[in-house]
Amino acid sequence: MSAGPSRPTLGFLLAAVLLLLVSSASAFIHADQAGLNDWHKTLVGTPRFAFYTRPARKGQLIVGTERNVLASLNTKTGDIVWRQVLEPFDELKALKLDGPALTSISGTTALHTRQWDAPSGSLVWDYEHPVAMHSLSAAADIARVNEDVIALVNGNTITRLAGEDGSVSWTVTSDSGATYERLYVFEDAIYAIGAREASSALEICVLKVDLKDGKIVSEYQPPNGHVHSLTGVYLYGDQTTANVLWNGVDRAYRHALGQTAETDELDELFGLKDPRIHSVLDYQETSLIVVGSENKYSVRTIKSSLHTFSGEQASSVFSSASVSGQVYISCVRSGETEADIELVSLSHNDSPQSVFTASLPLDRNVSGEIVKTALDVIPTPGDKSQASGGPPPVFRVFAVTADGSTRLFKSGEVIWSREESLTAATTAEYVDLPEKSMLSQEHDELDELPEETASHSGMERYLRRLRTHLAKSAHYPQHLLKTIQSFTDSKTDSKARSDLFADFFGVRKLVVFASKTGKVVALDTENGQTVWERYFPKSHFEQIETVRAALVRFPPILTLISRNKHSVDVKRINALTGSDISAESFHDIRKVIKLPVEETEDRTHVLALVGNDQKLYFSPSTPSALEAFATIAPQFHLYLTEGIGASEIEGFSVESSNAGNQSFSLKSTWKLTFPVGETIAALGTPSPGDEKVASLGRVLGNRSVLYKYLNPNLLALATIKTTGGVPGAPDFTSTVFVYLLDTVTGTVHYRSEHEGAGDVWPGVPSVFVEQRDNWAVLSYWNHGPEAVPQPELPASTGAENNADGGEALPSRKKLVRKKKRKAGSVGGAAAGEQSLTPIATPDAKGYEIVALEFYESSKPDQRTDSETFSSFHSKRPHVLSQTYAFAKRISAIGATVTRAGITTREILLGLADGHLYGVSKRLLDPRRPIAAPTADEKEEMLYPYRPALDFNPKAVASYDLHVAGIQHVRAVPTKMESTSLVVAFGLDVFCGRRSPSKTFDLLSESFNYMALLATIAACVMGIWFSKRLSERKKVKDLWR
Amino acid sequence: MSSVNKWTFDLVGNSGKNASRNAKLDPPGFGETRELAKNVKSQQSAEEAEERDNQIANLKMKKAWETSLAPAKSIPMNAIMLYMSGNSIQIFSVMVTVMLLWNSLKAIMGTNTVYERFSTRAPGTEPKGLNALLSLASDPLIMPKIVYVLMQGGCVALGVWKCGAMGLLPTSSSDWLAFLEPKKVLEQSFGGAVSFM
């Protein structure tokens, strides 16, 4: 709400509201409200590593996931026992569980080997490998010898670390150029298996290192060692031999480690036709090879075949477990609606046999097939004779499905499941639920065209309306009862509702997540429960558009846009049920855009697809869609950029050609190439047209108005320019530039530079832009004066600078940074002027937030008088900016949206330490006075400027919850002006409400409806009683 | 009867009219005096009566002018009150202003009632309808009435000025901000990053 003096008619009201606003800038909740209007899903990500811990009774499942999370799950409930969230750049590369010791290797820019205590999840020790920066992408492996950890990192370095404290026993580096990825400890040596580039494929390399002193014993390439990738290389060992097996370019081979010249072909060795190794299962003493031949899988050791699984086995997944001397192997095959599991027991003395087969409920349309399993068999005490007809053992299978979600089966039943696919969500979209009344007969009437209505006679129409109202009135007693109930019981359990209709306050919606794994999940914003879920194989969703809102009788429709290598799939689904409506596929598409026009047949929004051939395609590809587009084609403009890291942005307009079929092609109108070295670091999104702006100007203290520059085609973006390696390097410099760009004309309306600003570390994005209405907010990390690029000083001041010599840096520190930059600094004259006034950076490193606001004029009460706004005739906006230091690392940025845009906005920051934090726009206001506020500024209720934006614990939207890894923050308005619904996701999902100006349109939870009703009743009674009395008195007086 | 000296008291006589009355109880000369007074009135000449009427009319005009100027006297007092109540929007300042405006407006509305008692016309003979309008010009009270309305208008002006000082008048551009229509945007631009983060 625009603070300041009020309009005459609303004077009182506004004063009252402002009083409310001033009393507290941030809305917070009480302890007993936690969890009432919000929910939080703690997730870990799709597991890459999974281990069961012993004892099985207090079973825990240790997982290491693609989201760099180490976690322990309760096998009974699926709840997280503990969770260690590593940074996104601390990529988890290897994980090994050995007793209570959990060892991990992680990192992309710095490699760490860490040991964790598996039962508690606490860190035991951490060792950072002193390796060069650049070859860190290689896989890593861990082996354990006695208590010690052998870590293979960087593709060439093997280090032995003491298990107790992580101290280095020895470290050895191979400089042969091969990249090693696996470790195997056999007898007194460590074998590292890797590969090096050969002519057409990779060639397997073996490195033998002495276990005791870390000396390289030998390094060689076994014969026939050509492979396509290292994933086809397996290690096998038993008591007497250690082997490396691989699926070579044409056939599979075995090589016994340590025997340089020997390689056997597997067809001869196993006596199978064209064997391909499927997997090698490990357990304590020996390994088992699952080998596929002629569409059948068999389990075997090197020496002998143990069991052959029957039947056609296209997508089988195997896992093994051993308990009290017996080995079990599970084989899971996914079908359409269920998965078959077969459990085979292999014991030393008996012949192998299938002990259990079952069908697991698993819908391929919901979760996809099982891609990974982990088997655990629970020992049954005193019963070692399962093979001889005893009851089947109790076993658990932890399964990872293709969509990324996980579930645990216990003896054929799903015990729990976790929707980990949400951690791969790339985008989310809110779906408004249909109004109940919208589906009534009444809207059958409202939905028809005027001609249709005219065709009915007046009497008929009247009767129809009467019928509608009668039908509605039948529900009235029930409705009344409910209303009364809600009065008496203020905390009505609305969470249990299953019907999909909008609630009175519009806070119940669906939020649909689409993930890059092909999973689409719709959650209820009231309680976080899954309403529907779908899995689309081979899809990588990156965009969802609501093409039809819940409209009269029609269900809302979502369009899911999935991008594969060459094609873009556009799938239309019913947003309330997830069922398919239609699907289209396009080729060579650069960008999909939702247009603000509807085609007439289904009343869905038209999607425009921009092809690589500079043509526009439409979905649905119907003539009516083409017609709909033709109406807006003259004013349609387009801008495209390759995104983060690009250095260009290009604008297009549309040309229509009527040769044969009408078609539209793009014509490049402008192209902006950023100066050398600048790449896009963050892109804002121009405010969508349907977002309302309550006030067109900002009222100042003296009742004059600064008119907002409201240009929906204005794009705020930030570019970054760095030189000289990593932060801290002597010649490292970094600068962030802010651009305000008109995307119709390509005009740069504003450019400012923030010297020393940038990403906190390469690979840790710290530059974010959020853009709404007439403002933008930018955040970055300030590297301090050391990272300021050396200005090219003119000759006169250059001499002075030389005199400083080595002290150039400290002298610059003293300078005060000029925070505000006038618009149009790109111009040559302005640039010359700038180099004369050196600009310095505060001598402090930290995160900073810049608030920018755009106005039509620098002077109040000046407005370009026009009914229309055209980018071609637009004047340059007046831009105000102010910078604030902020103490926390920001990982995502968003802003609240309310229905009419009256409520003060709140900028929502996803913080790296696991909070969703709201900053009122009144704090991020570039008009905050730097000097003592004048009377007018006081009247306007501006906070005086403070360089630091304090962390206010009351403004944490996620209160004491740890919402890890927030990457996206999405807000949507509700029917209450005060309240905005917010979903933050990334790793965890948090959904809650924000009321930046407090819930001024909602009675408090503790409002006593009973007292109100009682008061009204008492008043009515009193009036009735006194009326009686007064009547009696009147009569008496008349008789007197 | 007219020949009877007016200073004559018939202390004994009994005029017969009041025979039924117990003359003993009346104070001396009581009955006669009443009758004598009637005689005095009728004796007055027409000139005298006219003069008296003029006098009364003048007196009434004088009073009417006084009434007209009375509101002007209250203006300084009102001004002081308004000044004292301050320019912030509070119950007291608003009440004072509203009372001032309300009273003045009420007074303007009731102008005719106020001047009724100064009218020289016999009650019930006021012209109605169009005649009232025509007779306005000839009404001697028209000037005092106009002045009275002007004076009350001065009070209203004071109140309006006060409203302005309190910021309750829509005089600045910020007051019309809510009625401004947003500009219609002629071009629509779409797009964004081709690849997603």
Whether residues B92 and B35 share a domain: the answer is no
C-alpha B105/C-alpha B98 separation (Å) is 10
pLDDT at A60: 85
Measured between CA atoms, the residue of chain A closest to residue B166 is A8
- Residue A270 structure tokens: 């196993």
pLDDT above 90 covers a percentage of chain A that reads 27
Whether residues B23 and B106 share a domain: the answer is no
Question: Given CA atoms A694, A695, A701, A702 in this order, what sign does their dihedral have?
Answer: negative
From the list A642, A696, A713, the residue facing B180 with the nearest CB is A696
Specify which residues A50 forms β-bridges with.
Answer: A63
Asked if residue B33 belongs to a domain, the reply is yes
Write down how long chain A is.
Answer: 1040
- Token pair 């979502």 in the structure block, residue: A558
Q: What's the Cα-to-Cα distance from A130 to each of A111, A113, A713, rounded to whole Å?
A: 8, 11, 50
- Residues of A within 8 A of B172 (CB-CB) are 703-705
pLDDT at A573: 92
pLDDT at A861: 86
Check whether domain A423-434+501-587 has CATH 2.40.10.480, yes or no = yes
Specify which residues A281 forms β-bridges with.
Answer: A288
Give the contacts of A643 (CB within 8 A, at least 6 positions apart). Answer: A680, A683, B193, B194, B195, B196, B197
From the list B168, B184, B196, the residue facing A867 with the nearest CB is B184
- Residues of B within 8 A of A8 (CB-CB) are 167-170, 175
pLDDT above 70 covers a percentage of chain B that reads 76
Mean pLDDT, to the nearest integer, of A832-855? 72
Residue A879 has pLDDT above 90, yes or no: yes
C-alpha A903/C-alpha A999 separation (Å) is 10
Residues of chain A with CATH 2.40.10.480: 423-434+501-587
pLDDT at B23: 62
Give the contacts of A210 (CB within 8 A, at least 6 positions apart). Answer: A188, A189, A190, A216, A217
Residue A775 has pLDDT above 90, yes or no: yes
pLDDT in tens, A467-490: 878 877 887 888 788 777 766 655
Which residues on chain B place their C-beta less than 8 Å from a C-beta of chain A?
89, 167-170, 172-175, 177-178, 180-197
| A57 band by pLDDT with thresholds 50, 70 and 90 | low
Residue A755 has pLDDT above 80, yes or no: yes
| A157 band by pLDDT with thresholds 50, 70 and 90 | confident
Whether B186 sits inside 8 A of A635 (CB atoms) is yes
Whether residues B82 and B116 share a domain: the answer is yes
pLDDT at B17: 52
Whether residues B102 and B144 share a domain: the answer is yes
- Residues of B within 8 A of A704 (CB-CB) are 172-174
C-alpha A635/C-alpha A631 separation (Å) is 9
Whether residues B64 and B92 share a domain: the answer is yes
Asked if residue B119 belongs to a domain, the reply is yes
User: Which is higher by pLDDT, B31 or A178?
Assistant: A178
Specify which residues A683 forms β-bridges with.
Answer: A717
Mean pLDDT, to the nearest integer, of A128-142? 73
- Residues of A within 8 A of B193 (CB-CB) are 641-644, 646, 683
C-alpha A192/C-alpha A183 separation (Å) is 5
HSE on the CB side for B123, CA within 13 Å? Answer: 5
Residue A141 has pLDDT above 70, yes or no: yes
Per the CB < 8 A criterion, the answer to whether A64 and A86 are in contact is no
- Residues of A within 8 A of B191 (CB-CB) are 591, 593, 638-641, 743
- Residue B2 structure tokens: 């007219």
Size of interface A-B (CB pairs under 8 A): 131
pLDDT in tens, A98-114: 888 899 998 887 889 99
Whether A12 sits inside 8 A of B187 (CB atoms) is no
Question: Given CA atoms A619, A624, A630, A636 in this order, what sign does their dihedral have?
Answer: negative
Phi first, then psi: give them for residue A630, nearest 5 degrees: -60, -30
Residue B131 backbone class (left: φ over 0; alpha: ψ -120 to 50; beta: rest): alpha
Whether residues B27 and B82 share a domain: the answer is no
Whether residues B101 and B36 share a domain: the answer is no
Q: Which regions of A457-527 does DSSP assign to beta strands (E)? A: 509-515, 519-524
From the list B170, B183, B188, the residue facing A636 with the nearest CB is B188
- Residues of B within 8 A of A595 (CB-CB) are 190
pLDDT at A799: 38
What crossing angle do the helices spanning B46-85 and B142-166 adopt, rounded to 10°?
0
| A213 band by pLDDT with thresholds 50, 70 and 90 | confident
C-alpha A425/C-alpha A986 separation (Å) is 7
| B135 band by pLDDT with thresholds 50, 70 and 90 | confident
| A1025 band by pLDDT with thresholds 50, 70 and 90 | very high
From the list B178, B189, B195, the residue facing A744 with the nearest CB is B189
Q: How far is A117 from chain B (nearest CA, A)?
A: 35
Phi first, then psi: give them for residue A76, nearest 5 degrees: -80, -40
- Token pair 């965890």 in the structure block, residue: A988
Mean pLDDT, to the nearest integer, of A138-152? 86
Per the CB < 8 A criterion, the answer to whether A150 and A167 are in contact is no
Whether B189 sits inside 8 A of A4 (CB atoms) is no
Asked if residue B4 belongs to a domain, the reply is no
Cα distance between the two ends of chain B: 127
- Residue A655 structure tokens: 């040309």
Q: How many domains does chain B have?
A: 2
- Residues of A within 8 A of B167 (CB-CB) are 5-6, 8, 11, 703
Mean pLDDT, to the nearest integer, of A955-973? 91
Give the contacts of A728 (CB within 8 A, at least 6 positions apart). Answer: none
pLDDT at A923: 92
Concatenate the DSSP letters of all residues of A913-943 into one string.
TTEEEEEETTTS-TT--SSS--HHHHHTTPP
From the list A637, A646, A872, the residue facing B189 with the nearest CB is A637
Asked if residue B151 belongs to a domain, the reply is yes
pLDDT in tens, A910-922: 999 899 999 999 9
C-alpha B149/C-alpha A570 separation (Å) is 77
Whether B177 sits inside 8 A of A7 (CB atoms) is yes
Mutate to test the interface with B, among A588, A713, A773 (most CBs of B within 10 A): A713
Per the CB < 8 A criterion, the answer to whether A890 and A912 are in contact is yes
| A344 band by pLDDT with thresholds 50, 70 and 90 | confident
DSSP A902: -
Whether A642 sits inside 8 A of B192 (CB atoms) is no
Q: How far is A170 from chain B (nearest CA, A)?
A: 41
pLDDT at A811: 35
Q: What's the Cα-to-Cα distance from A321 to each of A175, A330, A377, A942, rounded to whole Å?
A: 38, 8, 6, 67
pLDDT in tens, B76-132: 988 898 888 888 888 888 888 999 999 999 999 988 888 888 877 766 677 777 777
C-alpha A289/C-alpha A277 separation (Å) is 7
Whether A711 sits inside 8 A of B197 (CB atoms) is no
Residue type for A480, please? Answer: L
Residue A520 has pLDDT above 90, yes or no: yes
| B33 band by pLDDT with thresholds 50, 70 and 90 | low
Which among A923, A958, A741 has a CA at the least distance from the CA of A849? A923
Mean pLDDT, to the nearest integer, of A730-756? 91
From the list A11, A636, A693, the residue facing B182 with the nearest CB is A693
Of the given ranges (A96-105, A131-140, B151-160), which has the lowest mean pLDDT?
A131-140
Whether residues B33 and B96 share a domain: the answer is no
**How many Cβ atoms are within 10 Å of A663's Cβ, its own excluded?**
14
Residue type for A42, please? Answer: T
Residue A720 has pLDDT above 50, yes or no: yes
pLDDT at A678: 92
Give A112-120 contacts, CB < 8 A, sequence gap 24+.
Answer: A113/A142, A113/A149, A113/A151, A113/A153, A113/A159, A113/A161, A113/A166, A115/A149, A115/A163, A115/A166, A116/A70, A116/A84, A118/A53, A118/A60, A118/A62, A118/A72, A119/A53, A119/A60, A119/A72, A120/A82
Residue A364 has pLDDT above 70, yes or no: yes
H helix and E strand count, chain A? 13, 67
Of the given ranges (A132-136, A448-452, A475-479, B181-185), which has the lowest mean pLDDT?
A132-136
pLDDT at A26: 46
From the list A7, A636, A710, the residue facing B182 with the nearest CB is A710
Mean pLDDT, to the nearest integer, of B13-19? 53
Mean pLDDT, to the nearest integer, of B130-141? 78
C-alpha A268/C-alpha A274 separation (Å) is 10
DSSP A764: B
The answer, yes or no, to whether the previous bond of B76 is cis (omega within 30 of 0) is: no
- Residue A450 structure tokens: 């005027």
| A514 band by pLDDT with thresholds 50, 70 and 90 | very high
Residue A751 has pLDDT above 90, yes or no: yes
Give the range with max mean pLDDT: A258-272, A461-475, A968-982.
A968-982
Whether residues B30 and B70 share a domain: the answer is no
* CA A238 centroid distance within chain: 44
Whether residues B79 and B164 share a domain: the answer is yes
Radius of gyration of chain A (CA): 34
Q: How far is B163 from chain A (nearest CA, A)?
A: 10
Whether residues B89 and B154 share a domain: the answer is yes
Mean pLDDT, to the nearest integer, of A574-596? 89
C-alpha A879/C-alpha A219 separation (Å) is 65
pLDDT in tens, A888-910: 999 999 999 998 888 999 999 99
Residue B16 has pLDDT above 80, yes or no: no
Using a 10 angstrom Cβ sphere, with 0-12 exposed, 13-18 middle and 19 or more buried, the burial of residue A1009 is: middle
Residue A136 has pLDDT above 70, yes or no: no
ipTM of the complex: 0.71
Residue A773 has pLDDT above 90, yes or no: no
pLDDT above 70 covers a percentage of chain A that reads 85
From the list B182, B187, B194, the residue facing A713 with the nearest CB is B187
Per the CB < 8 A criterion, the answer to whether A697 and A707 are in contact is yes
Residue A591 has pLDDT above 60, yes or no: yes
Owning domain of residue B34: 15-44
Mutate to test the interface with A, among B89, B179, B185, B189 (most CBs of A within 10 A): B189
Whether B196 sits inside 8 A of A543 (CB atoms) is yes
Residue A579, SS3 per DSSP = coil
What mean pLDDT is reported for chain A? 82
From the list B180, B186, B197, the residue facing A868 with the nearest CB is B186
Whether A593 sits inside 8 A of B180 (CB atoms) is no
- Residues of A within 8 A of B184 (CB-CB) are 867-869
pLDDT at A366: 86
- Beta A567-574 vs A580-587: how paired, if at all? antiparallel
Q: Which regions of A549-684 does DSSP assign to beta strands (E)? A: 557-563, 567-574, 580-587, 589-598, 605-611, 616-619, 636-641, 648-657, 663-673, 679-683
Residue A20 has pLDDT above 70, yes or no: no
Whether residues B69 and B152 share a domain: the answer is yes
Whether A705 sits inside 8 A of B181 (CB atoms) is no
H helix and E strand count, chain B? 6, 2
Residue A743, SS3 per DSSP = coil
b or e along A960-970 (b: 16 or more beta carbons within 10 Å of the residue's beta carbon)? ebebbbbbbbb
| A35 band by pLDDT with thresholds 50, 70 and 90 | confident
Per the CB < 8 A criterion, the answer to whether A368 and A402 are in contact is yes
Mean pLDDT, to the nearest integer, of B63-86? 88
C-alpha B135/C-alpha B125 separation (Å) is 12
Per the CB < 8 A criterion, the answer to whether A414 and A360 are in contact is yes
What mean pLDDT is reported for chain B? 79
Q: How far is B96 from chain A (nearest CA, A)?
A: 16
Cα distance between the two ends of chain A: 65
User: Which is higher by pLDDT, A283 or A208?
Assistant: A208
Whether B177 sits inside 8 A of A595 (CB atoms) is no
Give the contacts of A503 (CB within 8 A, at least 6 positions apart). Answer: A433, A494, A526
Concatenate the DSSP letters of all residues of A36-104 into one string.
TS-EEE----SEEEEEE-SSSTT-EEEEEETTSEEEEEETTT--EEEEEE--TTS-EEEEEEETTEEEE
From the list B184, B185, B194, the residue facing A643 with the nearest CB is B194
pLDDT at A488: 62
- Residue A924 structure tokens: 């991020």
Of the given ranges (A519-533, A796-810, A985-999), which has the lowest mean pLDDT?
A796-810
Residue type for B30, please? Answer: F
Residue A308 has pLDDT above 70, yes or no: yes
